[in-house]
Chains A and B, each alone.
Chain A
Amino acid sequence: MEQDINIKITDRDGVTHEVLAPTDMAMNLMEVVRSYELAPEGTIGICGGMAMCASCQCYVLSDTELPEMQDDEEAMLSEAFYVKDNSRLGCQIQMTPEMEGLEVELAPES
């Protein structure tokens, strides 16, 4: 399907998964992780995707251009643990065709 993009997600056990993510279903990265069950239910996307819990924190490994961080994401990350310079909240990254080749790693559960 032409709207699908290839992305690589490294789960919390260090296993890297190559998955196809739809870009036409308003899905964000956190939801892609959940749809492929790459993190146990109840450990990711706890707030549903409102940038209010940081359970979907991930580290961006590729130099893919991503949407700019909004205030709420930045504020939530400032209260989260295990934060690095390349931390983002998966729920704030909507899948778009430009993100082909995106590589991320899920941050530890906290």
Chain B
Amino acid sequence: MIKTDILIIGAGPTGLFTVFEAGLLKLKCHLIDALPKAGGQCSEIYPKKPIYDIPAYPEILAGDLTHKLLEQCKQFEPGFTLGERAETIDKQKDGTFIVTTSKGTKHHAPVVTIAGGLGSFEPRKPLIDNLVEYEDKGVEYIIKEPEFYRNKKVVIAGGGDSALDWSIFLSDVASEVTLIHRRNEFRGHLDSVEKVQELKNAGKINLITPAEVIGVEGNGKIEAITVKQDAKTFTKQCDHFIPLFGLSPKLGPIADWGLEIEKNAIKVNNALDYQTNIPGIYAIGDVNTYPGKLKLILCGFHEATLMCQSAYQIINPGKKYVLKYTTVIGVDGFDGTRKEAPKAVVKKIE
């Protein structure tokens, strides 16, 4: 069982900044995220896009913002459970919570903060009738372990970066890689597109465009796909079919935690501390709603800061504290590091 002070669900910008604010109050954090890496939407949807409304950054790439937030909170040694979705929450007799993930990992904390953005990212599944029957029987939407595909015949469908990147990567692992897309044009980084072109010319990737996978067949396990290209339809043998059409966020199991939900978001007490209707569970960032709510990263940072002060009171009932400034007191990391402002020079002038 993983134990922590504040269990954060969602490792996007708001969740990461919570680690820093909690650390200043000597509270330790652990984050759960369904994605295999930290950063939330900033990493998953638009890492190379600039953001212009982060205070003091006239311009910063979303991916860089994630890196800086990770760097800022590093000294507070956050724990991570990545690639697992928070599924259930159980309130204990003493008021603490146990949160269990999709893989059964259990986390125990006196305070839970949901910083889940628009929800956990679920794969967008193409509209193929019996596709679901072959899930985990040769149909995968997310590549977790590339070695799984060694010496296998793999078909990837999609026209974005992940389809391109995985085709490139698996061309060295699988016995055969086929990339199928509805158009001849791909939406990805230029170097990825050029690399796929190169591998196609070298005979290491079969490219079938413009075409679409319209069916899957097999016997307990996928054996072939049906491809429609122009007016003709044909069958292609394969061991794996990996449709990569991006991810779409869904509030998911959190919606069944007994929290008050409004407009696909969790209602919180914004006059005070962003606590939900269940004491000890907070919701901050894009996942919450209250009158006047704005889904902005900077608002998530503000909410995280106030939430941590309230969580301190739950974790340390009655214990006095006043807000301190980092410039005045410095930052003492849990890893033994210390950052502090240089002392003023006191020197006599003769």
Contact = CB atoms under 8 A, between A and B. Distances in A.
A53 B160 CA distance: 11
A55 B119 CA distance: 15
A86 interface: no
Contact of B124 (A43, A47, A75, A81): A81
A41 interface: yes
A102 interface: no
A79 interface: yes
> Looking at chain B's contact residues, is the secondary structure mostly helix, strand, loop, or mixed?
loop
Contact of A81 (B46, B126, B185, B263): B126
Contact of B264 (A43, A53, A81): A43
B124 A42 contact: no
B246 A53 contact: yes
A37 B263 CA distance: 9
A41 B251 CA distance: 11
Contacts of B265: 41-42
A52 B46 contact: yes
A110 B46 contact: no
27 contacts: A37-B263, A40-B264, A41-B264, A42-B119, A42-B251, A42-B263, A42-B264, A46-B118, A47-B45, A47-B46, A50-B49, A52-B45, A53-B45, A55-B248, A71-B185, A74-B185, A75-B159, A75-B187, A76-B187, A78-B181, A78-B187, A79-B160, A79-B187, A79-B245, A81-B127, A81-B245, A82-B127
Given A40-B263, A52-B45, 7 more contacts: A42-B251, A52-B46, A74-B185, A75-B183, A79-B159, A79-B182, A110-B124
